[in-house]
Copies of this chain bind each other. A is one copy, B any other.
Amino acid sequence: MKKQYAVIGLGRFGGSMCKALADQGMEVLAIDIDEDRVNEFSNVVTHAVIADSTDEGVLKSLGIRNFQHVVVAIGDNLQSSILTTLILKEMGVEKITVKAQNDYHEKVLRKIGADKIIHPERDMGVRIAHQIVSNNVLDYLELSDEHSIVELVATKKMNNKSLIELDIRAKYGCNVVAVKRGKDIYVSPQADQSIHQGDVLIVIGGDKDINRLEKQMANEE
């Protein structure tokens, strides 16, 4: 049976989740108390309904207990967010993800049993900070406290050098796991893969090692 998702609250976060889930071919029920927002999503998702999620009867009649994953994306109204989560939990919904506004909100949500709690603004702040520290860093994935994967733009000085000539592994202890050039991508590149200026190197390594490499590349600009 196909998994069913529900998203409650169609603000920027909830709305974007609906679109991405639908893009991935998922069945999505979108719920908002606001008619205009619901209309906006009627063509995006499988079902879009106007409903107040703090009304237990309404959630029951929508059969929400049978959904595999429900996302509560109500932001500003903490009371509604908390009450909705509580009702979903009591109904026995398998997995509940909730957008939190602040630490207090998160604490309450954990107590009542939310499975996953998201701080979109806070998390994006950390991501963007990593990106802007080096102009060469396009994107960034934290693997652990001390290891990351980063996308780095190859400098002029790297142009027409092979990976073995650049010797990033020996010099910085980092591994190039893929190279992007325009629309092409070379996964697990060989040592003789030649690099062009502007190529995007996908690099995995320790944060300190990556930082040294980033700094060196920034100086080459």
Contact = CB atoms under 8 A, between A and B. Distances in A.
B132 A97 contact: yes
Interface of A: 3, 5, 11-17, 19-21, 24, 26, 69, 71, 73, 95, 97, 101-102, 116, 118-126, 128-130, 132-133, 135, 139-147, 149, 151, 175, 177-178, 180, 183, 185, 187-188, 202, 204-205, 211
Secondary structure class of chain A's binding surface, majority of residues: mixed
A180 B149 CA distance: 13
B178 A12 contact: no
A7 to B, nearest CB: 9
Contacts of A142: 139
Nearest to A132: B69
A106 to B, nearest CB: 12
A102 B13 CA distance: 12
Contacts of A124: 13, 16, 118, 120, 123-124
A20 B142 CA distance: 13
Contacts of A120: 120-121, 123-125
Nearest to A207: B24
Contacts of A17: 125-126, 128-129
A72 to B, nearest CB: 12
Contacts of A178: 143, 147, 204
* Interface core residue of A140, A144, A183 (most chain B CB under 10 Å): A144
13 contacts: A3-B133, A11-B121, A17-B125, A17-B126, A24-B133, A26-B133, A69-B132, A118-B128, A121-B121, A140-B141, A143-B180, A147-B178, A187-B205
A88 to B, nearest CB: 15
Contacts of A149: 141, 149, 177, 202
Contact of A204 (B15, B143, B146, B187): B187
A16 B118 contact: no
Contacts of A132: 5, 69, 71, 95, 97, 116
Contacts of A122: 12-13, 15-16
